Structures are given as C-alpha cells and as structure tokens.
Structure 1
Amino acid sequence: MKVTVDQESCVASGQCVMTAADVFDQRDEDGIVELLEDQPTEDRAEDVRQAAALCPARAIRVEGQSGFVR
C-alpha cells in the first residue's frame, strides 16, 4: 500500500487523523494534513482506506495491490 496526500487540496477537516492517527497528522499552524507513513502496514489498510473515503477534499490517494483505491 502506498499513500500520498495533496496538501493543496486539503481543507483541514481532520477526518483522516481521527480515522488513522498513526498515518496522518495535521500541521499546528493551519490544520493541513501531514503524512506520517507513506507505506503503512497491511494491518492499517482498512483505516487508511476509510480515511481516504471520508476526506471531503479527496486529498488522500491510496494505491494497493489491487491498484488505485482513491
């Protein structure tokens, strides 16, 4: 699994952090997403996919064995 974020698209809603805090964080000054782990382990896969699905700005991209997820 490979995760990327588009900080330019992020609207700082924090959904990703609430869903997968070990993979995502937010900058203190403006709340924009920060990626902590770009290749999370498979045990984090469901949370990461859910974070991507919940992102209102669609700023999270997840690629896995089955290809592009979002």
Structure 2
Amino acid sequence: MAKHIYYPEEVLIEKMERGEYGWLDYVNHFSAEWQEEYARYCEEHSLTASNESAAEFVRFKDEQLEAAMESGDA
C-alpha cells in the first residue's frame, strides 16, 4: 500500500486556493489523526465522506481549538 502524504496547513491552503483540493482532500492530507477523527465524526453524525461533511468537520475542529485557547488548554 502506498504511503499517504500529509502537508503543512500552508500548503493545503495554497492547494485549495488554486482549486487543486477541496475540503475532503484537505482533511485527508492534514494528518492521520484527522483522518481517523473525521471517520468517527461522519459515523457519529450519520454523514458520508464528502466536501460538505469535511468542511463541517473543519469548522468543528476550529471551534474546538478556539474553546481550548479560551480555556488556556491550547
């Protein structure tokens, strides 16, 4: 099996801005942890893997980060 490639956030943003990647690609190339969390997120919310659900997952992760920063945990 081929090794999965992950990119820094800056590279992923550039690829999205150029139209090379959508939100699903962003999530799948961010990290192995995000891939696993996204799969659980989809399962828990009865979602299918798509750009729409991946965008929802990224918003969810942003909200988690904001909450962690506000509480001093990030």
TM-score, normalised via structure 2 length: 0.25
Structure showing the higher helix proportion among its residues = 2
Q: Computing the radius of gyration over CA atoms, which structure comes out larger, 1 or 2?
A: 2
- Compare the two structures and name the one with the higher strand fraction: 1
